[in-house]
């Protein structure tokens, strides 16, 4: 780790400051205060009154609108940025240059070049840069990652995700940038080593005159030949949060709105005999067989995802190793989103991710 990285003793809580007391900041404040790994030193917001209300009347944590004073505080070893995406580059860069480890609310930055600049700054200084992809730390997604990485589901054949509900139509971004980051970060998190998207095509529609796509479909092609499909929608009268992951051995269904059975694993699928397994008379006709085995619903221990995310941030800081959702993971999500936006603007043209990143 670089000399710029702050040293944190193994037995001492990590001093942390949260920047931003709006929608997400209070959730970070609550989890940092509840974690024995951290000691909340400050909450910084342009509206000091709002920061004080988040902390409560009897809190000893400093509320301030002076970011420079927070970054100059030697007891603050780490910073969590929960400000609008357009400010992430400025705030996170200032924190990194002050020698602080940085956690950034998703998205990592407002654009791929900005995200790349943050990743380079953190790596140059030997500091932890983590993106708060909260869904990745839910018990269900952690189990899905385990099942895919261990090979229990077999080789990934397809992923189909539906994230739809009625509203909220955003004023500055389309439905793809609003909802798809959840699914893209989950996909990036659960894919086994060596498996990655290589291209993306996006189609969308704005039938209510909002000025941006309110319904969108993303199709990602993976380097293994597998395919991933993501449907996001602001106009659905029903809320659905379902993902189906098909493997060569088993198929998994994740229903995030069913707390009593979030995951279901089916030993059902299609098997095709290879040419080597067929006799001479059978070579003209591939044999297709169907498995119809048991369904298993793994028990999951309910735990707040943010609590697990905070623990992973502490682990990354203390060990000097990348977090599971580090800056590079955040950058990969932005790359897919920007390539998908280009595809959407070009009528659904398939955009190669390497071609886009190098452009």
Decide if 220 is inside a domain.
yes
The pLDDT assigned to 285 comes to 56
The pLDDT assigned to 1 comes to 41
Q: How many residues does the chain have?
A: 359
Examine the domain organization and report whether 55 and 159 are in the same domain.
Answer: no
Q: What is the CATH number of the domain that holds 264?
A: 3.30.360.10
The pLDDT assigned to 291 comes to 73
Q: How wide is the angle at C-alpha 31 spanned by C-alphas 318 and 190, nearest 5°?
A: 70
Determine the angle formed by the axes of helices 25-34 and 305-319, rounding to 10 degrees: 70
Examine the domain organization and report whether 145 and 101 are in the same domain.
Answer: no
Strand positions, DSSP E, the chain? 14-19, 38-44, 62-64, 78-81, 101-105, 129-132, 156-166, 197-205, 215-222, 227-233, 235-247, 251-255, 263-272, 288-296, 351-352
Examine the domain organization and report whether 142 and 255 are in the same domain.
Answer: yes
Examine the domain organization and report whether 110 and 216 are in the same domain.
Answer: no
Decide if 311 is inside a domain.
no
Examine the domain organization and report whether 71 and 168 are in the same domain.
Answer: no
Strand positions, DSSP E, 10-115? 14-19, 38-44, 62-64, 78-81, 101-105
Of 132, 154, 169, which residue sits at a domain end?
Answer: 132
Is beta strand 101-105 parallel, antiparallel or unpaired with respect to 38-44?
Answer: unpaired
The pLDDT assigned to 278 comes to 55
Examine the domain organization and report whether 122 and 160 are in the same domain.
Answer: no
Q: How wide is the angle at C-alpha 18 spanned by C-alphas 14 and 24, nearest 5°?
A: 125
Examine the domain organization and report whether 23 and 120 are in the same domain.
Answer: yes
Decide if 51 is inside a domain.
yes
Examine the domain organization and report whether 144 and 85 are in the same domain.
Answer: no
pLDDT tens-digit readout, 64-119 = 999 999 999 999 999 999 999 999 999 999 999 999 999 999 999 999 999 999 99
Of 132, 164, 198, which residue sits at a domain end?
Answer: 132
3-state secondary structure 259-295: CCCCEEEEEEEEEECCHHHCCHHHCCCCCEEEEEEEE
Domain that holds residue 27: 14-132
Decide if 101 is inside a domain.
yes
Examine the domain organization and report whether 118 and 174 are in the same domain.
Answer: no
Residues of the chain with pLDDT under 50: 1-3, 284
Examine the domain organization and report whether 164 and 270 are in the same domain.
Answer: yes
Of 112, 132, 152, which residue sits at a domain end?
Answer: 132
Q: What is the CATH number of the domain that holds 79?
A: 3.40.50.720
The pLDDT assigned to 274 comes to 64
Decide if 201 is inside a domain.
yes
Examine the domain organization and report whether 202 and 220 are in the same domain.
Answer: yes
pTM check: above 0.85: yes
Decide if 324 is inside a domain.
no
Strand partners, 102: 79, 129
Number of domains in the chain: 2
């Amino acid at each position: 780790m670089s000399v710029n990285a702050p040293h944190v003793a193994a037995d001492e809580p990590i001093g942390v400051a949260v920047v931003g007391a709006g929608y997400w900041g209070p959730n970070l404040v609550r989890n940092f205060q509840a974690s024995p790994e951290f000691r909340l030193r400050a909450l910084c917001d342009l509206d000091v009154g709002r920061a004080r209300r988040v902390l409560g009347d009897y809190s000893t944590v400093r509320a301030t609108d002076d970011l420079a004073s927070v970054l100059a505080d030697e007891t603050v070893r780490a910073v969590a940025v929960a400000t609008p995406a357009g400010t992430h580059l400025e705030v996170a860069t200032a924190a990194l240059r002050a020698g602080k480890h940085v956690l950034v609310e998703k998205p990592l930055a407002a654009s791929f070049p900005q995200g790349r600049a943050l990743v380079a700054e953190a790596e140059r200084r030997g500091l932890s840069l983590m993106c708060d992809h909260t869904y990745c730390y839910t018990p269900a997604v952690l189990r899905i990652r385990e099942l895919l990485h261990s090979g229990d589901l077999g080789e990934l054949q397809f992923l189909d995700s539906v994230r739809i509900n009625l509203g909220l139509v955003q004023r500055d971004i389309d439905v793809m940038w609003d909802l798809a980051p959840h699914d893209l970060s989950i996909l990036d998190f659960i894919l086994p080593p060596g498996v990655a998207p290589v291209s993306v095509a996006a189609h969308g529609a704005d039938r209510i005159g909002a000025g941006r796509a309110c319904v969108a479909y993303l199709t990602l092609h993976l380097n293994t030949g597998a395919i991933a499909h993501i449907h996001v929608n602001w106009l659905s009268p029903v809320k659905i949060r379902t993902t189906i992951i098909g493997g060569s051995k088993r198929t998994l269904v994740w229903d995030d709105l069913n707390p009593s059975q979030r995951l279901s694993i089916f030993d059902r699928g299609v098997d095709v005999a290879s040419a080597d397994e067929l006799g001479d008379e059978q070579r003209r006709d591939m044999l297709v067989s169907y498995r119809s085995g048991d369904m298993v619903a793994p028990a999951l221990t309910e735990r707040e995802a943010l609590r697990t995310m905070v623990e992973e941030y502490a682990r990354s800081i203390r060990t000097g190793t990348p977090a599971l959702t580090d800056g590079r993971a955040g950058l990969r999500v932005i790359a897919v989103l920007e390539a998908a936006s280009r595809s959407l603007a070009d009528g659904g043209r398939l955009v190669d991710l390497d071609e886009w990143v190098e452009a």
